[in-house]
Amino acid sequence: MTPRYSSLSEVQKDLGVGAITLPELVSYYLDNIERSSHLNAFIEVYKDEIKSQAEIVQQKIQSGKAGKLAGAVIGLKDNLCYKGHVVTASSKILAGFESLYTATAVERLLAEDAIIIGRLSCDEFAMGSSNEKSVYGPVLNPINEKCVPGGSSGGSAAAVAADLCLMALGSDTGGSIRQPASYTGTVGLKPTYGRISRHGLIAYASSFDQIGPITHSIEDAFLYLSIMAGPDQYDGTLFHQGYSLENQDAKPLLIAVLKDCVHREGLNEEVKAAFLNLTEKLKKEGHHVEEVNFPIVDQLVPTYYVLTTAEASSNLSRFDGIHYGYRSKEAKGIDNTYKKSRTEGFGEEVKRRIMLGTFVLSSGYYDAYYSRAQKVRRVIQNKTNEILAHYDVIITPTTADAAFEMGKKSADPIAMYLEDIFTVQANLSGHPAISIPLGKKQNGMPFGVQILSRAFEENQLLCAAQQLNACLKES
């Protein structure tokens, strides 16, 4: 599936010479959305309002006053607030809830003349790896409609892959940008924790969540990052400096390959072969590639699930049937309102996680689970930093396989949780990571390679991604 435009610079070039106007571009995407409505990626399309916005930005382009993102048509994951628009985290419990303010990241895109085309489905409260757990029903993978697009930002990835918008925002708590990017042949960037304000992102696990872009081009992903990054009075965890896009000299890289990821059971043979082929090519290009030990791979997913469910149980307590969205029709009295509204409003997976999180935080089990997992998180972070003290980047396959068939893992939460095996490390440690397309299986399904770099060194990540991509394009 070749998109009409695969980067913002291509769009801006055409807009600049008048080969297309912004209203025409918006109509192009609206037509595509209509034609692909069976994919179920968009929950809502802001058809009327964007037509007039496109006229306004078009005027600005003609008078030379347009912002840096003029021409960018963007979809939003349904957990990002956009004032005056409904946001539900794809959950019944937020049915009909309208945002009272706009997320800082979205506000910054709008300030540079981006156009927000609509709201994209996701797994309920961003919990999931397949986008089968949305109250709006499953999203289909445009490359093979029998398969899942990945999750939780499955609507975002499907929309970009199917050319329904140029870029889509997602959020990544354990891989929700990178895994769907891997499954749809797109680029997905999770910035360093603390790069982009989380203000206006419906929280899942606050010490893990980051907003990021899904795009066709590597350069675009970092361009959007440079616009969205930087301090914000509403998020106290942000780094004091913004991010400025700088091209680094393409020096030979010191690359660490996590031995325990690449030589583990469960890694698909075709994915493994493509990955090892890439490492060989990188060596031939003069890069230094070495396998390093990371013996705590099996601890990654359990640690992630103890800590994120704990944070989720606390974050989601605000959805009580009183403050927001859904209230049970049979609710009577305060306790009963909480109980009935939460029982009816949350889906099965969200309830499972709230209960798990409440359990690991309960007084009898806090030390055994929650505080122990915090200590393991620190070990994971230290070990990752230790490797990055000697290497520029760490690479692994993004996912152990390509997209799976719908329904295949929905009855088995553990199999679904293991989807995150290679991606959760970056969220546990806070490091930035990107997934770029690595190859395709014989059945045509794409899969990605993940690159992870030192915290707040996204320019190094950009440079490495470009170098790997150049290597991949050569053959």
Interaction site with ligand GLN (CB under 6 A): 126-129, 152, 171-176, 204, 308, 419-420
R_g over Cα of the chain = 21
Is 363 noted as a catalytic residue in this protein?
no
Which residue type, as a one-letter code, is found at position 391?
Y
Q: Which is nearer to ligand GLN, 8 or 41 (CB)?
A: 41
Q: Which is nearer to ligand GLN, 128 or 325 (CB)?
A: 128
Catalytic option among 7, 77, 133, 217: 77
Catalytic option among 6, 121, 152, 156: 152
Q: Which is nearer to ligand GLN, 57 or 169 (CB)?
A: 169
Is 77 noted as a catalytic residue in this protein?
yes
Work out the burial of residue 383: count CB atoms within 10 Å of its CB; fewer than 13 is exposed, 13-18 middle, 19 or more buried: middle
CA 138 – CA 116 distance, rounded (Å) = 23
User: How many residues in the chain?
Assistant: 475
Q: How far is the CB of 128 from ligand GLN (least distance, A)?
A: 5
27-34: Cβ within 8 A, 24+ apart: 28/4, 29/73, 29/117, 29/163, 29/164, 29/165, 29/166, 30/117, 32/162, 32/163, 32/164, 33/117, 33/118, 33/164
Cα-Cα-Cα-Cα torsion 286, 390, 304, 409, nearest 10 degrees, comes to 20
CA 472 – CA 145 distance, rounded (Å) = 26
Q: Which is nearer to ligand GLN, 57 or 105 (CB)?
A: 105
Cα-Cα-Cα-Cα torsion 96, 100, 106, 110, nearest 10 degrees, comes to 110
Q: Which is nearer to ligand GLN, 36 or 79 (CB)?
A: 79
Q: How far is the CB of 296 from ligand GLN (least distance, A)?
A: 19
Q: How far is the CB of 64 from ligand GLN (least distance, A)?
A: 40
CA 244 – CA 229 distance, rounded (Å) = 9
Q: How far is the CB of 153 from ligand GLN (least distance, A)?
A: 7
Tokens of 345: 């409003």
Q: How far is the CB of 175 from ligand GLN (least distance, A)?
A: 5
β-strand pairing of 393-397 with 446-453: antiparallel
Q: Which is nearer to ligand GLN, 149 or 174 (CB)?
A: 174
Q: Which is nearer to ligand GLN, 175 or 345 (CB)?
A: 175
Is 171 noted as a catalytic residue in this protein?
no
Which position has the token pair 């890694």?
A: 267
β-strand pairing of 167-172 with 210-215: antiparallel
Q: How far is the CB of 176 from ligand GLN (least distance, A)?
A: 3
CA 373 – CA 376 distance, rounded (Å) = 5
Catalytic option among 91, 176, 217, 313: 176
Report the catalytic residues: 77, 152, 176
